[in-house]
Amino acid sequence: MEQSKEFYKNNFTDYLLCLALDVGEGMLKSGGEVARVEQTIELICRAYGAAHVEVFSIISVINATIRMPDGSYSSQMRRVKSTSNDLYRLELYNEISRSICRETPALAEFDERLHAVKKKRAYPAWVTIPASALAASSFAVFFGGGLFECLIAVVIGALVGVIDLALGNHLNDLAKIIISSFAAGFLSSLASVLWSSVNSGEIMIGTIMLLVPGVAFGTALRDLLCGDLIAGSLKTLQAILAALMIAFGYILSMAAIGAV
Amino acid sequence: MNDFFTLTFFTRLLTSLLGTLAFAVLFRCRARHLPYASACGLFTYAIYYTVDYFTGSIFLAAFLCTAFTTAFAEGCARLRHAPALVFLVPGTIPIVPGSDLYYTMRYLLQSKYESFFIHLQNALLVGIGIAGGIVSVSLIVSAWRKYKGLHLHH
């Protein structure tokens, strides 16, 4: 990547598109909408004087072509392999694109600012564990659980957080969902077998909230209805698959409990 | 009205606030936006509960409260100079039909088909309500943006 940038620095058009794609890729990776990605790349290129900008993005690929007034031409594609929700980074990329369009600094400075964003984090990675525990236990109580269910949901929620951190990018998202859903189903049923007063359902629901793609489904349908048909269908498919994988992990855990 | 302000309602208000806060952290929402994002979740649930109480329709409740959440998130976005997603994504969490999805799976496994269909129907109704709420307000906002010549990142 760094090497290719050295090469680009001799060619303004290529370098500009490369940087604009970096911003777009960053937004897509942090969970930004496809419309936002396309618009941002177009605005950045136009701010630097591009006469023609064509951008097409779906959730896993950005394709862009620009033509400058002097006739120089650049066309690049960027493959984006994983997306997640990182609202902090999304906001930073948004801020960067806003300031870049306003100030149009030299490309080298643009590059430096982008580089600084890549290193920034809103919170250390471990906050995932207490946050998952709080989320799972809150929703266990929200859906009718008592103190005991709440405490067990804290443990299982923390475990889901640990699974998420430990597997990180090593495993695909759907596999992570199956493992988390299986672990949650197994442990909550085990708890209700050990202590008969415990309602495994409420614990399980608390954990399901961590995995369920509810908001993703909503934004997927929005993309679909706002005209981003391909990105919208892919996101809808992703959400449906995630829901099916939760069911798969849960059913697997019920089968395991039945067999134990 | 006596059964409107129940203990369950207050418990749910509190837990929706805490749950949304936790999700906002999971989604890496910036610390200075956390109060707004959490409030968004609290309002979402309060409206959902109120509409459900008076009309008895979970679809209408999900639709209206998400429409409000989307508008609220757009407002926060303008005030706080951040993308609306920062508030919308955590804010809709409390009405995600996690419990209906759970009971759908559970009753399917127990072969209780009548309950299975009821919960599946509820999950779908709420899901479509959420999507409808987001879409309708988003379309209005984007039309307004086009009219004003504004871009997504302004």
Nearest residue, CB atoms, B89 vs list A85, A94, A208: A85
Q: What is the C-alpha separation between A146 and B84, in angstroms, rounded?
A: 35
Mean pLDDT estimate for chain B: 88
Q: Chain B neighbours among A 10-49 (CB < 8 Å)?
A: 31-33, 35-36, 39-40, 43
- What is the percent of chain B with per-residue pLDDT over 90, rounded to a whole number? 48
**What is the rounded average pLDDT of the residues B1-20?**
86
- Residue ranges of domains in chain B: 7-148
**Is the predicted pLDDT of residue B123 greater than 80, yes or no?**
yes
Q: How many CB atoms lie within 10 A of CB B74?
A: 19
Each of the 260 residues of chain A gets a pLDDT tens digit; together they read 555 566 666 788 999 999 999 999 999 998 888 888 999 999 999 999 899 999 999 988 999 999 999 989 999 999 998 888 888 999 999 999 999 999 888 988 899 999 988 888 888 989 999 999 999 999 999 988 888 889 999 999 999 999 888 887 777 888 888 999 999 889 888 888 888 888 888 888 888 888 887 677 777 887 887 788 898 899 889 888 998 999 899 889 988 887 66
> What is the count of residue pairs from A and B with beta carbons less than 8 Å apart?
164
Note whether A123 contacts B19, CB cutoff 8 Å: no
Higher pLDDT pick, B131 / A132: A132
- pLDDT given at position A212: 82
Distances in Å between the Cα of A189 and the Cα atoms of A13, A199, A226 are 60, 8, 42
pLDDT digits (tens, 9 = 90+) for B39-67: 999 999 999 999 999 998 999 999 999 99
Instruction: Indicate the angle between helix axes B98-109 and A200-211, nearest 10 degrees.
Output: 120
CA distance B51 to chain A (A): 18
Question: What pLDDT score does B109 carry?
Answer: 85
Chain B residue closest to A129 (CA)? Answer: B26
Residue A117 Cα, gap to closest chain B Cα (Å): 14
Phi, psi torsion values for A63, nearest 5 degrees: -120, 130
Distance of residue A10 Cα from the nearest chain B Cα, in angstroms: 30
Distance in angstroms (rounded) separating the CA atoms of residues A217 and B56: 24
Q: Is A74 helix (H, G, I), strand (E, B) or coil?
A: strand
- Work out the angle between the directed axes of helices A107-119 and A87-103 (0-180°, nearest 10): 170
Q: What pLDDT does B71 receive?
A: 93
pLDDT computed for residue B139 by the predictor:
84
**Band of the pLDDT at B2, cuts 50, 70, 90?**
low
pLDDT at A260 (0 to 100): 63
Give pLDDT, residue A130. Answer: 94
Query: Alpha-carbon distance B87 to B140, whole Å?
Result: 18
The model's confidence at residue B34, banded by pLDDT at 50, 70 and 90, is: very high
What ipTM does the predicted assembly reach?
0.88
Which residues in chain A are closer than 8 Å to B151, comparing Cβ atoms?
39, 43
Residues in chain A with CB shorter than 8 Å from the CB of B15 are 138-139, 141-142
- Among the partner residues B22, B66, B89, nearest to A138 by beta-carbon distance: B22
